[in-house]
Structure 1
Amino acid sequence: MNIGIVGAGAIGNFLMKEINHNGVGEMRIQSVFVRDQIKYQNLEHQFNIKVFDRLDAFLDSGIDIVVEAANIAAVHDLFPKILSEKDVVLISIGALADEDFLHKMNDLAETYKRTIHLPTGAVGGLDLLQNAHTCGGVTSVSLTTRKPAQTLIDEYVSKEVVVFDGHASEAIKQFPKNINVSIILSLAGVGIEQTNVTIIADPTVENNIHTIDIEGSFGSASLSVTNNPLAENPKTSHLAAMSVLGTLDHMTKRIKLGG
């Protein structure tokens, strides 16, 4: 499978290293699209790829699928066009918090017979949630996110502070850069108006901690994940980068676990 990447930041570089240098799976990153071709020209020799700054040329470069490793603005600007020609993997899932854009992307996928892949990112348990929701048996989904205090609030605090408690729809508006997890949970389960979110600024923790609680006719489940940062960029979760790699590798397998 030949892969094209939009963006050349921490996750893009992680994927190029793991796939092209370390040989993960039956995959090869062939092309990268960036705004400034000259700035990233060195990637061509480093990873044996081709760098493009023209979208049409990038899409015509022999790639089978496009991975977005940029930002929400890039998803809105570029991916309606890209989806008309290629299957896609979206990392900036926050773009889909806009319900009009979500419907637009779904309609384009239907029209052009394309698939939009959403990596699980910094959490787990989404397979359980999806399976339970398929049968209509989920009654409650809640997310408690605990982050280092300085990443959420400016003032010094000596003990934890709840900075948000409400539905995911409002959490997304108030903390768009901090709550991607709530969006993927909402899409997998009961929606943004029914998914409960609590965000805690905690001066005693160094990493992000996400706890998911699910209840329904199947019973109940609770999962807590503590994320280490990606070495190349402490602002990026290592697990989030790994989930993109895992999503791509999953596509190449003949025996598939889950969806």
Structure 2
Amino acid sequence: MNIGIIGAGAIAQFLLQQLHHETCSHMRVTSVYVRDRAKYEMLQEKYDIELYTDLSSFLSSPIDVVVEAANVDAVKEMMPAVLQQKPMIVISVGALVDEQMVQCIQQSAYQVYLPSGAIGGLDLLQNAQILGQVERVALTTRKPAQSLIKDSIVTEARVIFTGTATQAIKKFPKNMNVSIVLALAGIGFDQTKVTIIADPHITKNIHCMEITGDFGEASFTIKNNALPQNPKTSYLAALSVLGTLTRMENTFTIGG
């Protein structure tokens, strides 16, 4: 499988590193779309890829799937064109709060894959909601204070947001993709409750999910280590993209 990536940041470079081995010979990154070719020129020689600054040329290159590893704006701008030609893995799921983006997916002949990112338990939530019998989904996210509050010193843990997943992604567009993928798997953006805590005493992002319904109750807590190459990116989020690519090629499915 030949992979094209939109973006060349931390997750993109993680994929380049991991797939640039003989053990992953069945999957390789061949094309990368970037805004600034000069900035990422070194990637072309290091990983034997082709850099593109024109989206049409990128999509016409010999790739089987496109991985978006950029941001919400890139999804909104490029997904309609991508889905006319290729299946797509979307990391910046916050873009899907926009109803037009959801319609774009629904009208496409190509599959869209949403990695689980920095959380887990989505298969359980989807199964519990298959008959529409999940009553409550709540997410409490606790992050290092400095990653959420820049203009003041925080000495004690503080709740800085309570609301819905829709409100959370609008206020924290770079921090709360987890709330959106949770809402998509479960009971919707406006029904998924979110609490965000800025904590000066922790170094990891901690996500606690609580689910209640006819099936019973479930709770999950995930403490995320940062990606070694970039402390702002969850290691599990990067792994989930690699896992999604791998499962696309599997001949059997576990869970779901």
Task: Decide: shared fold, TM above 0.5.
Answer: yes
Q: Could you say if the C-alpha distance between residues 187 and 75 of structure 1 is closer, same or farther in structure 2, counting changes exceeding 3 Å?
A: same
Q: Return the alpha-carbon distance in structure 2 between the equivalents of residues 104 and 255 of structure 1.
A: 28
Residue identity (%): 53
Q: Aligned Cα RMSD in Å?
A: 1.3
Name the residue aligned to 1:27. 27
After TM superposition, the score normalised by the length of structure 1 is 0.95
Letter in 2 for 1:79: M
CA contact (8 A) 1:68 1:88 kept: yes
Number of equivalenced pairs: 255
Name the residue aligned to 2:244. 247
Q: Return the alpha-carbon distance in structure 2 between the equivalents of residues 247 and 156 of structure 1.
A: 39
Could you say what secondary structure the match of 2:39 adopts?
coil
CA contact (8 A) 1:26 1:252 kept: no
Letter in 2 for 1:140: R
1:137 aligns to 2:120 (yes or no): no
Name the residue aligned to 1:122. 118
Letter in 2 for 1:44: Q
Could you say what secondary structure the match of 1:242 adopts?
helix
1:148 aligns to 2:144 (yes or no): yes
Name the residue aligned to 2:159. 162
The one-character-per-residue Cα deviations of 1:12-68 (angstroms, maximum 9, x if unpaired) are 010011012363372111111111223322212211111111212211211000000
The one-character-per-residue Cα deviations of 1:148-186 (angstroms, maximum 9, x if unpaired) are 112222322221111111221222222222211110000
Name the residue aligned to 1:9. 9
Q: Return the alpha-carbon distance in structure 2 between the equivalents of residues 95 and 159 of structure 1.
A: 32
Q: Could you say if the C-alpha distance between residues 25 and 136 of structure 1 is closer, same or farther in structure 2, counting changes exceeding 3 Å?
A: farther
Q: Could you say if the C-alpha distance between residues 149 and 208 of structure 1 is closer, same or farther in structure 2, counting changes exceeding 3 Å?
A: same
Deviates more, 1:189-198 or 1:175-184: 175-184
1:229 aligns to 2:230 (yes or no): no
How far residue 147 of structure 1 moved from its aligned partner, in angstroms, is 0.6
After TM superposition, the score normalised by the length of structure 2 is 0.96
Q: Return the alpha-carbon distance in structure 2 between the equivalents of residues 14 and 61 of structure 1.
A: 22
Letter in 1 for 2:255: G
Could you say what secondary structure the match of 2:129 adopts?
helix
CA contact (8 A) 1:25 1:249 kept: no
Q: Return the alpha-carbon distance in structure 1 between the equivalents of residues 173 and 22 of structure 2.
A: 34
Letter in 2 for 1:130: Q
Q: Return the alpha-carbon distance in structure 1 between the equivalents of residues 11 and 2 of structure 2.
A: 17
Q: Return the alpha-carbon distance in structure 2 between the equivalents of residues 143 and 121 of structure 1.
A: 14
Runs of 4+ in 1 over 4 A off after TM superposition: none
Name the residue aligned to 2:208. 211
Q: Return the alpha-carbon distance in structure 2 between the equivalents of residues 130 and 25 of structure 1.
A: 33
Name the residue aligned to 1:89. 89
Unaligned runs of 5+ in 1: none
